[in-house]
Amino acid sequence: MGEKAKTSRRGFIKGFKYGFSKRMREGAANRLIEILKKQFGGIPTEYIEKINELPWETLKLITKEHLTLEALKDLERYF
């Protein structure tokens, strides 16, 4: 395999991994938003925007701990 092909392949793999992780994070954010809407009967647009910006690790943490939240305002500690 030539150097140009190796570079192209590495670029493809890097792009694929980035796209995959981005979709996973977006899916986790969407699931969390749906969980919180059901738990609290709605969620302000401001919180939805902030949740959509959170890293994967924080989304996982909130999803695990969502039952300990007494009010939507409790989410602010994660932002």
The answer to whether residue 12 scores a pLDDT higher than 80 is no
d(CA 10, CA 75): 39
Higher model confidence: residue 19 or residue 49?
49
- pLDDT at position 8 is 73
What does the block give as tokens for 30?
């969407």
Find the helix packing angle between 3-40 and 56-65, rounded to 10°.
30
pTM of the model: 0.76
Contact between residue 64 and residue 35 where contact means Cβ atoms under 8 Å apart? no
pLDDT digits (tens, 9 = 90+) for 29-74: 999 999 999 999 999 999 999 999 999 899 999 999 999 999 999 9
